Amino acid sequence: MSKKGDFEAVRKDIAKLMHQPEYDDGSAGPVLVRLAWHSSGTYDAETDTGGSNGAGMRYEAEGGDPANAGLQHARVFLEPVKEKHSWITYADLWTLGGIVAIKEMGGPEIPWKGGRTDYVDDSKLPPRGRLPDGAQGSDHLRFVFYRMGFNDQEIVALSGAHNLGRCHSDRSGFEGAWVNNPTRFSNQYFRLLLSLQWRKKKLPNGVEQYVNYDEDSEAELMMLPTDIALTQDKSFRTWVELYARDKERFFEDFSKVFSKLVELGIVRDEDGKVTNADNERGGYHA
């Protein structure tokens, strides 16, 4: 147990659980990043619903959304940290988990502040279906990410997270990793999007994705239809090209946009204190 508010102690314990030799590519990092993203990415700016406040994924309505399949692994990885630092809210822990994971995998430092609540406000619950569908194209990406309040540049920067981790046919139906070293944060994803030749492949389960046919590469790599859409849309492509050639710029922009992502729906006063989180009523009310 640490002192309430000692996020440094929490960060250290999250960093320690990164190494998971039995899991996927040996790291809990990628799935932790996806947990942070999915807990935040349900936000709708217009109705001010969804977002990381409330940690709604603990409950079936949100946790059982097919888009969140597999994220229980991330939540299980973080459970010992919650047990040790019981004062932290899940909403803070899940967003901080992604921030620490990115840093541990060689990515940028990302500004993060605590203060999210685990109180579930029924009037703020997001309906299912708000997260993006990898089988779609650029119109869908704009529809989903503009709803959260992001622009084209931010959509492309955020997509750079696909440097990390992989698709699992038993979770999303897609299969494989985007890059050869999926536990190292870099701009490789953007470089491969432009440098390899991608062709459509139908998997045995009927799902269509793109694979490269570069015979020299170590393994077959993949892209989602939404990833390929970034190279086909003129406005998106400009940013893909920039991030492919300028890793520093990608790191800088990714840091800003990921920080914005985990703040969606969080309101703070001048001192950074969250003003729209009810932490007295921490539990779920149905």
Q: Does 226 bind ligand ZEM (CB under 6 A)?
A: yes
Q: Kindly tell me which residue out of 63, 114, 132, 137 binds ligand ZEM, with binding defined by CB under 6 A.
A: 132
Q: Does 161 bind ligand ZEM (CB under 6 A)?
A: yes
Rule CB under 6 A: say whether 167 interacts with ligand ZEM: yes
In the complex with ligand ZEM, the residue whose CB is nearer, 120 or 167, is 167
- Reduced 3-state DSSP string for 165-210: CEECCCCCCCCEECCCCCCCCCCHHHHHHHHCCEEEEECCCCCEEE
Q: What is the DSSP letter of 219?
A: S
The catalytic residue among 38, 73, 85, 162 is 38
Minimum CB–partner distance for residue 220 and ligand ZEM (Å)? 16
**Side-by-side strand order, sheet with 222-223:** 198-202, 208-212, 222-223
Determine whether 38 is an active site residue. yes
The verdict on 39 binding ligand ZEM (CB under 6 A) reads no
Radius of gyration of the chain from its Cα atoms, rounded to whole angstroms: 18
The least CB distance from residue 74 to ligand ZEM, in Å, is 8
Q: Contact at 8 Å (CB) between 161 and 171?
A: no
> Does 112 participate in catalysis according to the annotation?
no
**Contact assessment for residue 164 and residue 173, using Cβ atoms and an 8 Å cutoff:** no
Question: In sequence order, which residues have a C-beta less than 8 Å from that of residue 47 and are 6 or more positions away?
Answer: none
Which C-beta is closer to ligand ZEM: that of 85 or that of 212? 212
Instruction: State which residue, 168 or 201, has the beta carbon closest to ligand ZEM.
Output: 168
190 sits near ligand ZEM (criterion: CB under 6 A): no
CB of 269 to ligand ZEM, least distance (A): 27
179-208 burial, b for 16+ CB within 10 Å, e for fewer?
A: beebbbbbbbbbbbbeebebeebeeeeebe
Who contacts 195 (Cβ-Cβ below 8 Å, separation ≥6)? none
Burial degree of 231 (CB within 10 A; 0-12, 13-18, 19+): middle
Answer yes or no: are the C-beta atoms of 254 and 108 closer than 8 Å: yes
Task: Tell me the closest approach of the beta carbon of residue 253 to ligand ZEM, in angstroms.
Answer: 12
Looking at 37, 94, 178, 198, which residue is catalytic?
Answer: 178
The region of 7-15, 87-95, 146-154, 164-172 touching ligand ZEM under the rule CB under 6 A is: 164-172
Residue 34 beta carbon to ligand ZEM: minimum distance, rounded to whole angstroms: 4
Helices (H), 85-187: 90-104, 138-148, 152-159
Should residue 174 be labelled a site residue for ligand ZEM when binding is judged by CB under 6 A? yes
- Give the nearest distance from C-beta 39 to ligand ZEM in angstroms: 11
75 vs 171 by CB, closer to ligand ZEM: 171
75 part of the interface to ligand ZEM, by CB under 6 A: no
222 binds ligand ZEM (CB under 6 A): no
Interaction of residue 156 with ligand ZEM, rule CB under 6 A: no
Catalytically active residues are 38, 178
Residues near ligand ZEM (CB under 6 A) are 30-31, 33-34, 37, 70, 132, 134, 141, 158-159, 161-162, 164-168, 171-172, 174, 224, 226, 258
